[in-house]
Structure 1
Amino acid sequence: MDYDKARLFSRILTMHYIEQHNQSDISRMLGLSTAKVNRIIRQARDEGYLEINIRTPFQSLFDLEQKLTSLVEIPEVLVCPTLSDDPNTVLRTMGATAADYLLQHLRDGDVLCISGGKQVTEIVNALNPQRKFDVTVVPATGGVQGKHYTDVNHLAMELAKRLGGQALQLHAPLFADSVEERNMLMNMRQTREVLDRARHADIALMGIGSIVPDSSSYFDLRSMSEADRKRLIEQGATGDVFAHLFDVNGKTVGQEHNEKLVGLTLSELRDIPLSVGVAASGNKVSPILGALRGHFFKALITDEVTTKQVLKLLEKGV
């Protein structure tokens, strides 16, 4: 490029990006056609004359998202700031972030299937839509009565109420007492019809459970003995999704428990177009890593500190 051409390029780029003139103003001031100004700006960008740096207060979060998606096969990761060490604050933060994400992706006519759990409860509590959505909310599993966050039918009704849609109920327990009882429940018409709607859902929303005894709700749901707990941990159980147990490599474990579950299988979960896993805090690091390796969902929502810890395990090859 000769001196005069380089000078013209420089002048136009300075006027457009530094002095904030639009292309029509530049064409008028320099006596050029708007098409030529547009062509010069495009050519300068293509030839490396223009370098754009984006600086935002959240750039470090975006960098973490990009790094995690490059290391594991997941289409989307959303990392939010860690605002507190308090677990309840983390739950609420994740709930608000996931609620906003859900509203951005929800469309009239969608079917939304959900799990029970504290994290899903916080998502429901955080929802504040600006309009009603013509959607159907269905449980993806049976439920456990006694606590509002384990009663998936209650959560489905509350979620549908907040969105302005309708909810279906699944009148079955989360765990059957035997494989035979589980098969009988799964073959009941009402159970079969509700779970079939869940299998064909547009969006799945779930928490990622931890099997750390002091913080796990899974063991409480199963009313397990200490011997059963130790045996599952010895098998490598680290987390659960839709109450299916898995290890840090994403392989299912505890088959004697998984096969008594009344709900969707992990294979069926993977077929849902948009499946969203939500979790954060130290005891969720290994479960998140296992769930990522198992490809149980297509979008992960977590926080900054948790993401850094997951990345550290990935880099160590854990």
Structure 2
Amino acid sequence: MSAQTVTQKRVRELPMAKAINAGLREALANDDRVLLYGEDVAALGGVFTVTSGLQQEFGVSRVYDSPLSEAGIVGTAIGLAMRGYRPVVEIQFDGFIFPAFDQITSQLAKQTNRHEGTMSMPVVIRVPYGGGVGAIEHHQESPEAYFAHTPGLRVVAPSNANDAYWMIQQAIASDDPVLFFEPKRRYWQKGPVSLDAAPGELHRSRIVRSGDRATVIGYGAMLPVLLDAAEIAAKEGIGLEVIDVRSVSPIDYGPLVESIERTGHAVVVAEAQGSVSVASEIAAQLGERAFYSLEAPVARVTGFDVPFPPAKLEHYQVPDADRVLDAVDRVLEY
């Protein structure tokens, strides 16, 4: 059998939800200290079936349901981490994370510093986030900026199945607490998953499409939107360079600055509200780090500063390719 045939067998076409499931399975199989729990994650497999089949495979002592108490879920994870376990907990919907906010920001984020580096906190909090499932506020929110603002927390968001498979394993292997934001609108979007090699370190930004006129930057659910915009722009002779930030805390600015040095223009896109946001921080940092390369101010395309609307109005709230291209036109006018 040729090496090429072996390599082909090590690539699977999976939806993102199944890729996360496969990554969790690898982590559970490779380390007995990994525990997985949350509301309805066991027999039901979670609201989005991301954890389907894992309790049957690893048993009720490794994968189990929790009481309906987000503060209790995270508080218990802190205690488990103190005892040497590596808990992975699920917050059923993004907006349900706020009852656990104090545990996350006041306790989980602070323990390692509080103990002068002698105590690690290997806790992963999985958060299905963003719109796309026909729900309302508390079920379609993007609260990542709250946690990116908190020292002591790592915050990441995969945009495709391959990243999801590897990044969940890298997050579990981290000795620091990781908020793992899963774009629920992309759960059933299929993509190739390489089982042989990780696509880079957990916090590395990555250029996913080359271009020479403007740099468009995003993460998580917005990457397919950016790629759609780049495809449309290409038909008009405009080359957009698309960058997947992948991690919103910390952010790897190197590829972003290097890209802007080539293109001279930048647009930052996020589903979350724009004020005091991750998009705001990226735009501000690029204004400082790439000032002499920028030919126009950095533009932002984000959700509006309102509570997430009912499903019929969602298309007004969430950035689409047209809004991205409008921003590109604005920066290219300078």
- TM-score between the two structures when normalised by the length of structure 1: 0.28
Larger % of strand: which?
A: 2
Structure ID, larger Rg: 1
- TM-score between the two structures when normalised by the length of structure 2: 0.27
Bigger relative contact order, structure 1 or 2 (CA pairs below 8 A, ≥6 apart): 1
